[in-house]
Amino acid sequence: MEALRTSDPARIAGHRLLGRLGEGGMGVVYLARSAGGTLVALKVVLGEYADDAGFRERFRREVAIARRVTSPWAVRLVDAAPDAEEPWLATEFVPGPSLAEAVDRHGPLPVRGVRVLGARLAEALHDLHEAGLVHRDLKPGNVLLLPDGPRLIDFGIARAPDDTSLTATGLVVGTPGYLAPEQADGRTGEAVQAAGDVFSLGCVLVYAATGRPPFGTGPADALLYRVVHDAPDVADVPDEVAGIVRRCLDKDPAARPTAQDLARDLAPEPDPGPSPAMGQEGEACAPWLPEPVVQLIAHRSSAALDLPDVTDTEVSGTSPAGGPARSAGAAQHGIADHPGGPGAPARLSPTRRRFLTVTGGAALLAAGGGAALWAADRDGGPPPATRPGPPRPTIALHGDLSGPDKETGLAQERGLRLAVEQFNARPGRPLTLAVRTEDDGGDPAAARRVAGRLAADPGVLAVVGPTTDPAAEAALAAYDTALLPVVAVSPGSITLAVQGYRSFCHARVPDTILAFYLNVYLRGFAGSRRIGIVDDRAADHHGWEISSTLSKLLHQDGHPQVPKVVSALRRDFRPTVDTLLAAGADSVVFAGGADRAALVAKVLRDRRFGGARAAAHPILDPRFVRAAGDAAEGWLSVAPVADPARLKGGAAFTAAYRRRFGGPPPRYAAEAYDATNMVLAALGGLKTPRPAREDLLAAVRGTPYQGITKKLAFKKDTGELVIAADNGVFLWRVERGAFRCQGPAPVTVPS
Q: Is residue 328 part of a domain?
A: no
Classified as helix, coil or strand, 110 is coil
Residues designated as active site: 137
Average pLDDT over residues 500-517: 90
Last residue of a domain, one of 294, 320, 342: 294
Answer with the one of 244, 275, 294 that is the final residue of a domain: 294
pLDDT at 216: 87
Maximum separation of any 2 CA atoms in the chain, in Å = 86
Name the pTM for this structure: 0.54
Domain that holds residue 415: 384-509+651-720
Tell me: do 269 and 153 sit in the same domain. Answer: yes
**Do 52 and 285 meet the contact criterion of CB atoms below 8 Å apart?**
no
On whether both 398 and 259 belong to a single domain, the answer is no
Dist. CA 472–CA 36, nearest whole Å: 41
User: Strand 504-506 to strand 486-488: parallel, antiparallel, or no bridges (unpaired)?
Assistant: parallel
Within a domain: residue 348? no
Overall average pLDDT of the 298-318 stretch? 52
pLDDT in tens, 175-192: 788 888 887 765 544 435
pLDDT tens for 699-737 read: 998 889 999 999 998 877 677 788 776 789 999 999 999
CATH code for the domain in which residue 157 is found: 1.10.510.10
According to the per-residue pLDDT averaged within each range, which of 425-429, 430-434, 463-467, 554-558 is highest?
A: 463-467
Last residue of a domain, one of 294, 309, 333: 294
Instruction: Flag whether 308 is in a domain.
Output: no
Residues 248 and 139 in one domain: yes
Dump pLDDT digits (tens) for 473-497: 999 989 988 999 999 999 998 878 7
The pLDDT, as a whole number, for residue 63 is 81
Rounded Cα gap, residues 605 and 609, in angstroms: 6
| Beta carbons of 300 and 96 less than 8 angstroms apart | yes
Q: 58-105, pLDDT tens digit by residue? A: 778 778 877 877 888 988 888 889 888 888 889 888 888 999 999 999
Are residues 432 and 474 located together in one domain of the fold?
Answer: yes
Q: What is the gyration radius of the CA atoms in the chain, in angstroms?
A: 27
Q: Could you give the CA distance from residue 316 to residue 726 in angstroms, rounded to a whole number?
A: 40
Residues 539 and 667 in one domain: no
For residue 366, what pLDDT is reported?
28
**Residues 504/464, Cβ–Cβ less than 8 Å:** no
Number of domains in the chain: 3
pLDDT tens profile 390-409 = 678 999 999 999 999 999 99
Q: Are residue 245 and residue 118 in the same domain, yes or no?
A: yes
Nearest-angstrom CA–CA distance, 644 and 640:
13
Instruction: Tell me the per-residue pLDDT of 194-246, one tens digit each, with 9 for 90 and over.
Output: 899 999 999 999 999 999 999 988 777 678 888 888 899 998 899 999 999 99
Q: Note the pLDDT of residue 320.
A: 35
Same domain, 448 and 496: yes
In a domain, 107, yes or no: yes
* 130 assigned to some structural domain: yes
In a domain, 313, yes or no: no
Q: Return the CATH number at 698.
A: 3.40.50.2300
Residue 389 in domain: yes
pLDDT in tens, 44-62: 887 666 677 777 787 787 7
Backbone angles phi, psi at 318, to 5 degrees: -100, -5
Count of other CB atoms within 10 angstroms of residue 172: 20
Three-state DSSP at 724 gives coil
Q: Torsion-angle region of residue 621: left (phi > 0), alpha (psi -120 to 50) or beta?
A: beta
- Rounded to an integer, the average pLDDT of 669-684 is 95
> How crowded is residue 305: how many other Cβ atoms within 10 Å of its Cβ?
8
Q: Count the Cβ atoms, other than its own, within 10 Å of residue 452.
A: 17
**Element holding 36 (H helix, E strand):** none
**Residues ≥6 apart with Cβ < 8 Å to 366:** 348, 353, 354, 355, 356, 494, 497, 498, 510, 512, 513
Cis peptide leading into residue 272 (ω within 30°): no
Q: pLDDT confidence of 531, banded at 50, 70, 90?
A: very high
Query: In the predicted model, is pLDDT for residue 472 greater than 50?
Result: yes
First to last CA, the chain: 53
For 630-651, what is each residue's pLDDT tens digit? 999 999 999 999 999 888 889 9
* Strand order across the 434-439 sheet: 434-439, 394-399, 460-464, 486-488, 504-506
Burial of 2 (0-12, 13-18, 19+ CB in 10 A): middle
Q: In DSSP terms, which residues pair with 81 in a beta bridge?
A: 88
CA 202 – CA 223 distance, rounded (Å): 16
- Cα–Cα distance for residue pair 197/191, rounded to 1 Å: 10
Residue 708 within any structural domain of the chain: yes
Same domain, 474 and 484: yes
- 285 and 154 both lie in a single domain: yes
Q: Given a cut of 70, is residue 128 above it in pLDDT?
A: yes
| Pair (502, 516) in one structural domain | no
Same domain for 473 and 591?
Answer: no
Q: Which amino acid does the sequence have at 151?
A: R
Average pLDDT over the chain, rounded to an integer: 81
What is the DSSP code string of 333-394? TTSTTSTTSTTSPP---GGG--EEEETTTEEEE-----S----S-TTSPPPGGGSSSSPPPE
Q: What pLDDT sits at residue 374?
A: 28
Could you tell me what percent of the chain has a pLDDT over 70?
A: 80
pLDDT tens digit sequence for 578-623 = 999 999 999 999 999 999 999 999 999 999 999 999 999 999 999 9
Residues 420 and 544 in one domain: no
pLDDT higher than threshold 70 for residue 538: yes
